[in-house]
Amino acid sequence: MKYAFLFAIAWLSVWPVQAAGPNARPNIVFLMSDDQSTYTMGCYGNHDVKTPNLDRLAAAGMVFDNHYDTTAICMGSRANVMTGMYEYKHGCNFKHGEMLADIWGKSYPMLLRDAGYTTAFAGKFGFDLRSTPDGPKLDLPSDDFDRWGGGPGQTFYETKMNESMAAYAKEYPHSTLSYGAFGRDFIRDVSKSEKPFCLSISFKAPHRPTTPDPKFDAVYAGKTFKKPDNYGRENGEHFSQQSKQGRQYVRFEEWGYHNDYDNVMATYHQQIYAIDVAVGMIRDALREQGAADNTVIIYTSDNGFFCGSHGYGSKVLPYEEASRVPLIIYDPRHPNSGNQVRCDALTGNIDFAPTILKLAGLSVPENIDGADLMQLYDDPQESIHESLALINVYNQAGPPITHAMAVVTKELKYIYWPYAAEGFEPTEELYQLGNDPLELRELARVPDYHVALKKMQAVYDRHLDHWKSEGISFNNYRPYTALFDRNVDWADKVPHLEKLKKNTKRR
């Protein structure tokens, strides 16, 4: 379905500032995995895995060591990526609601296509659209791209089950390589044009159910893997009781991290190996079509994964393994490329949309919360954020016990767990990430860190004030401004809690 007619006025505020000549603007390739932790890649220090293409991309470009998904679950995170906004401004996540069509109209794919880019999307789109909060769901925006290989919901690992990708099923029965082939073919066809292109691919891998491509069964057969230094229940005892009530806690055992670690991780890494091969297919196509020297490549994940760290599985929570993810950017035109540069500046998934828009020569809409990552490519010692908010309002069954809001700087992280019914108490956590990146020591009640705690409480309050002033009024995000307020008594939060329960049942 076409949505462009809804946004004619919106385009006027973001009309491109084009560089001279049809080829002056770079092509852009945005690649995103699903549920990939940082310790799945050689370039992030894991010597047990094989990621040759991603490691070569990292060596050619820049690796970011403090990159966070500000919402660490796929639906909300993907909306963050597309819009450059925090979740409470786009209003899109499981059990809350879909993205509104006018917000989608200001997403980076829509703005780039209007500015003359040829656009393509393949993989897990991740969210639906509505014209109004209570209106009917709209069709997936296949017509808003020049080439479409996307699908609804979680999509499928079997290529033939993904309608838009069925033509690739015979040669590539597993979807991961089919997306590599889609990218290859798109690059081949569009490189004949003088128009720049933007290719966005969202791999389903390594999301569960674990379904690796059998083509790569031999890669990790019989392999043993070093466990992270914060592995196991004993390294999560200091985490809040609220965090232990959700599925992230029980999945440590349900998914076999406790007693079958090597086999579980072999399957996980095998899925990422296939992504690595697909990335190689895309880079080969860029070289073969003469487009490599003018194409910026971005690689990241929609959220991280615990993989047994602290005795947890899955994602969502604002701890490091779930929220901090890989990020590689490669701009072949830039003098810093090829120097194996790393950047430890604080960055977030809200930064992708403004970065892509700026690369394309477009002005950035005022509603965007993110910043331009290429400022750091210019100078890795620079800073684009003093802090970021990490938000978990994913509604599981029952009351929002596991909901939390956190703030992170380069050195510190503060987490506030508000739930205080049924024997729980509001809980604060503080971590000194600069010397404790594995979050092994909780410091909120340590006297020597009283000043740091007060500092991070103030940072937290500023982010919550931003939510209060700029957050949407629909999809039931308003009750959280009271729930997450440290200065509101629990008794005064209960009416807002009831609104959240009603919303969960309605959705």
Global pTM?
A: 0.94
12-63 pLDDT, tens digit each: 333 333 333 334 799 999 999 999 999 999 999 999 999 999 999 999 999 9
Residue 375 has pLDDT above 60, yes or no: yes
pLDDT band at 134 (very low <50, low <70, confident <90, very high): very high
Sign of the torsion formed by the C-alpha atoms of 280, 286, 290 and 296: negative
Residue 103 has pLDDT above 80, yes or no: yes
What the block records as the tokens of 16 is 């491109």
In the chain, % of residues over pLDDT 90: 91
Predicted pLDDT at 18: 36
d(CA 340, CA 356): 22
d(CA 74, CA 416): 22
Predicted pLDDT at 398: 74
Predicted pLDDT at 506: 41
On average, the pLDDT of the chain sits at 93
Tell me which CATH homologous superfamily contains domain 26-385: Alkaline Phosphatase, subunit A (3.40.720.10)
Predicted pLDDT at 497: 80
| 499 or 69: which leads in pLDDT | 69
pLDDT band at 95 (very low <50, low <70, confident <90, very high): confident
Average pLDDT over residues 432-459: 98
Predicted pLDDT at 503: 56
Average pLDDT over residues 405-420: 98
Residue 132 has pLDDT above 80, yes or no: yes
Residue 496 has pLDDT above 90, yes or no: no
d(CA 109, CA 378): 24
pLDDT band at 6 (very low <50, low <70, confident <90, very high): very low
d(CA 121, CA 225): 34
Quick one: which of 440, 174, 479, 455 has its CA closest to 321? 440
Predicted pLDDT at 405: 98
Residue 498 has pLDDT above 90, yes or no: no
d(CA 320, CA 304): 8
231-253 pLDDT, tens digit each: 999 999 999 999 999 899 999 99
316-342 pLDDT, tens digit each: 999 999 999 999 999 999 999 999 999
d(CA 352, CA 409): 19
Predicted pLDDT at 396: 67
